[in-house]
Amino acid sequence: MRIYALPPQLVNQIAAGEVVERPASVIKELVENCFDAGSSSILVEVEQGGARLIKIRDNGCGIEKEDLPLALSRHATSKIQSLQDLEQVMTMGFRGEALPSISSVSRLTLISRVAGEDCAWRVQADGTEEELDPQPDPHPLGTTIEVCDLFYNTPARRKFLKSDKTEFTHIETLLKRMALSRFDVAFELKHNQREIFNFKIAQTQAEKEQRIAHIFGSAFLENSVPLDFSASGMRLHGWVGLPTFSRSQQDMQYFYVNGRLVKDRLVSHAIKQAYQDVLYHGRHPVYVLYLELDPSFVDVNAHPQKLEVRFREGRTVHDFLFKALHRSLADVRPQASEPKVDSEAMDMARPAVQTVVDFQPLPATEAKPTIARQSYQPSASPRQSALPLNVDAQIEAYTKLVAPSVASDIQEPRVSNISSTELELPLGYAVAHLHDVYILTETKNGIVLVDAHAAHERVTYERFKTQYHQGSVPSQPLLLPVQVRVNSAEADLADDQQAFFMSLGFELNRMGEEMIVIRAIPALLSGTDVALLVKDVLADIIEHGMSQRVEQSCNEILSTIACHGSVRANRRLSVPEMNVLLRDMEKTERSGQCNHGRPTWVELSKKELDKLFLRGQ
C-alpha cells in the first residue's frame, strides 16, 4: 500500500475535529487570543446560535500585515519559540492550530490593525492556505474575526449541531465563565442583534462582586465565604459557598489555574474532601476559585482544547487546596450576620429533620443524656457508611481506648450563669425549648432557631475528632491475620508504604508475589471489612498519590458515635443547658451543619419579623 501526503485543507479539517466541536469552541479559541493580545474590551456577536455568524472584535495589539497569512497557517504562533517556552506557558493559546482549523470548516475573515499603521488589513480564507492576499480596510486598532457558515463544507458535522437556542446557551455559559477569569476586561455579548449582557471592567472588590452577582445571583455572595490563602509558592483565592448553599448539579463550580478555566480530577477530589463531612448527601458545592502558581509547575499542554492540566507536584497541590478550603470552611461559625439557606437545600434537608424527631425519647426525668444502646440502622442516616458498623462495639472500643474523658464530658450538662451580655453574642440567649426539639433564642438583631440534636451532634463529633487525632492511633492485633490477594503493583506499593500504614494503625506484610497479610488494624475499625479498605487505600495511592480513606472511615464511625451520644429529640432541656450548647456552637468549627450536612440553625431578623406582620407598612 502506497503512502501519500494529505492535502493542507484535509489536514486542517482533521485538526478541526479536535479543536472545533461547536460554535462555543470557536469562541473559546478566539477570545483566548484576545486575552493574549492584551485586549481590555471584547465584543462577541453571534447569529443563529453561532452557526451562521460569529464575530469577535477586540482592541488588542493587532497583527502585522506580513504576519496575516502566516497566522492562518498551521503551527504558526507568536507565543512560544522553544521547548523552554512550552514548559512555562504564560499565554492562553500557544498551539498555532485554532485559526487554520476554524478556517478549514468555515468562511473566515480576519481584519487587524497595529499601532502606527495608517489602515488595517484584511484577509479571507477557507483553509487552503492559498491566495491570502491582504487588502486594506478602515478598521480601528485591534482585530476582528468573522466566522460565517460554520461546517458549511462538512455537512456530516453540521448535523451534530443542536438547536440555535441550545448552541447559544453553550456560548453564553462559556463567556460568563471567561468573564470571571478576567475582571480587567470588558465583555459584551449580542445574539441576533440583541444585547445579552455587557460587563464593564471591574477594578474594585465591589465591582468584581457585582459581576459575580450578575452571573451567579446575589444569593451566592450572601452564602459564600471569601478565601485568600498562600503557601509553598501557591495562592488560592476566590469565593466558596457555604455547605447549606449547595446544588443538585455541578453547574456552579468554576476553577481557574493561572487564569485558565479547567476541569481537573485532582482539583475535584481535593474540594470534595474539604466538604466531606459538612455537605448534605448527594449535594454539590458551589465555588469560584483561582489558583496561582509557577507556570513551570503545571502542564497546560495535556488536552487539545486545553480543558485539562497536569500538575508536576500533584500531591502538594492537592494538600494545599484541601487545607485551604478545609480551614476556610472550619472557620465559619455563628456570626452576627444572618445565615441564608437556599430553598433547594432546605427541601433536601427536611426529610432528615424528621428522622431526628423519630428517635426514641429519653425519660423526662433523665438527669443527663446517655449514649443510646438500642439497635441502630445506618440506613436511617442521610449519609450511609459503606462499612458495616456494630455501634455498640464501636462505642465500647472508643470509650475504652480513645476518649473516655470526652465521652463522660458530653454526658454531663454544664450550667453557666446567664448575663445580659449574652444578647450580644451571635446565637443570643435561650428563651424556650420548642416541641422539645428546637431551641428558640433572642439576639440583638432578631431570633434564632437551633436544632438541638443536630447542633450537639456536631459539637460532640468535633470533640471526638480532636481527641482521636491528638494522640497516636490505637492499634488492635488480629487473632487471625487476614490475607488479601492483590496484583503485583499493589503488593509492591504495600511493601514500600509499610511506615505509612503503620501510622494509620495497620500492620501488614507482604507474603508472596500477589499476597499481603494484615496483622493489626486501627482499634476504631474493629468489625469492618479491612481487606476491602486496604485495597481501596492502595487504589487511592496509585490514582492520587495519597489516601484519606482510613481517616474517612474513622470519621464515619466517630460521626455515628456522636449521633448516639448527642441529646435526643423529646428530651426537655433547661435554659442553662441550652445556653451551654449555644456557647459551644460558637466555639466549634463547622457548627453551622450537623455531621450529615443539615443546617443546625437559622435566624430571622427583626426586619423580617416586621415584614411577616406587616409592621411599618
DSSP 227: E
Whether 458 shows a pLDDT value over 80: the answer reads: yes
Of 72-86, 433-447, 572-586, the least confident: 72-86
Contact assessment for residue 303 and residue 269, using Cβ atoms and an 8 Å cutoff: no
C-alpha cell at 460: 460532640
Mean per-residue pLDDT for 196-215?
A: 93
CB atoms within 10 A of CB 433: 19
Contact assessment for residue 241 and residue 337, using Cβ atoms and an 8 Å cutoff: no
In sequence order, the 6+-apart residues with CB closer than 8 A to the CB of 606 are 445, 446
The tens digit of pLDDT for each residue in 532-554 reads: 878 877 887 777 666 666 666 66
C-alpha cell at 450: 437551633
Whether 154 shows a pLDDT value over 90: the answer reads: no
* Residue ranges matching CATH 3.30.1540.20 in the chain: 380-617
Give the Å distances, CA to CA, from 59 to 41, 136, 142, 174: 6, 18, 4, 21
At residue 451, the 3 state secondary structure works out as: strand
Tell how far CA 326 is from the center of its chain.
12
The pTM (predicted TM-score) of the whole model is 0.67
The most confident of the ranges 69-78, 195-204, 211-220, 476-485 is 195-204
The tens digit of pLDDT for each residue in 569-591 reads: 667 888 888 888 998 888 888 88
Q: Which CATH architecture describes the domain 217-330?
A: 2-Layer Sandwich (3.30)
* Residue ranges matching CATH 3.30.565.10 in the chain: 8-199
CB atoms within 10 A of CB 166: 11
C-alpha cell at 331: 472557620
pLDDT of residue 92: 76
Q: Helices in 331-451 by DSSP H: which ranges?
A: 343-357, 391-401, 404-411
C-alpha cell at 523: 482499634
* Residue ranges matching CATH 3.30.230.10 in the chain: 217-330
Q: How far apart are CA 263 and CA 261, in angstroms?
A: 7
Q: How far apart are CA 113 and CA 141, in angstroms?
A: 5
pLDDT of residue 211: 94
Whether 398 shows a pLDDT value over 90: the answer reads: no
Q: Which CATH architecture describes the domain 8-199?
A: 2-Layer Sandwich (3.30)
pLDDT of residue 344: 44
**pLDDT band for position 12 (cuts 50, 70, 90):** low
Contact assessment for residue 188 and residue 42, using Cβ atoms and an 8 Å cutoff: yes
Q: What is the crossing angle of helices 549-565 and 530-544, to 10°?
A: 130
C-alpha cell at 192: 441576533
Whether 291 shows a pLDDT value over 60: the answer reads: yes
Of 152-156, 170-174, 321-325, the least confident: 152-156
Tell how far CA 219 is from the center of its chain.
17
DSSP 599: B
**pLDDT band for position 349 (cuts 50, 70, 90):** very low
pLDDT of residue 125: 84
C-alpha cell at 376: 441502630
pLDDT of residue 390: 47
At residue 178, the 3 state secondary structure works out as: helix
**Residues facing 148 on adjacent strands:** 53, 107
Mean per-residue pLDDT for 87-112?
A: 79
Q: How far apart are CA 230 and CA 292, in angstroms?
A: 9
> For residue 179, which of 168, 171, 187 has the smallest C-alpha distance?
187
Q: Which CATH architecture describes the domain 380-617?
A: 2-Layer Sandwich (3.30)
Whether 27 shows a pLDDT value over 70: the answer reads: yes
Give the Å distances, CA to CA, from 132 to 15, 114, 526: 20, 19, 75
Q: How far apart are CA 525 and CA 338, in angstroms?
A: 40
